[in-house]
Amino acid sequence: MISFSVSQIAELVKGKLTGDGNRPILGAAGLLEASETDLSFFHNPKYIDDIISSKAAAILIPEKLNGELPIQNKTVIQVANPQWAFAQVLGIIEKIKRHHPQGIHPSAVISPAAKIGNRVAIGAHVVVESGTVIGDNTVVYPGCYIGEGSTVGSDCLFYSHVVLREDVHIGDRVIMHPGVVLGSDGYGFATVQGIHQKIPQIGKVVIENDVEIGANVTVDRATTGETRIGAGTKIDNLVHIAHNVHVGKGCLIVAQVGISGSTTIGNYVTLAGQVGITGHLTIGDGAIIAAQSGIMNDVKPKEVLFGSPGRPIKEAMKLQALYGKLPDLYDAFKAMKKKILPPTKE
Please tell me whether the peptide bond between 309 and the residue prior to it is cis, using omega within 30 degrees of 0. yes
- Using DSSP, state whether 87 is helix, strand or coil: helix
For residue 121, the Cα-to-chain-centroid distance in whole angstroms is 25
For 132-165, b/e burial (b = at least 16 CB within 10 A) is bbbbebbbbbbbbbbbbbbbbbbbbbbbbbbbbb
For residue 164, the Cα-to-chain-centroid distance in whole angstroms is 19
The Cα–Cα gap between 201 and 209 comes to 25
> Is 43 part of the annotated catalytic residue set?
no
- Using DSSP, state whether 276 is helix, strand or coil: strand
Active-site annotation holder among 169, 240, 243, 246: 243
Q: Extract the runs of DSSP E, i.e. beta strands, from 81-135.
A: 109-110, 115-116, 121-122, 127-128, 133-134
Catalytically annotated residues = 243
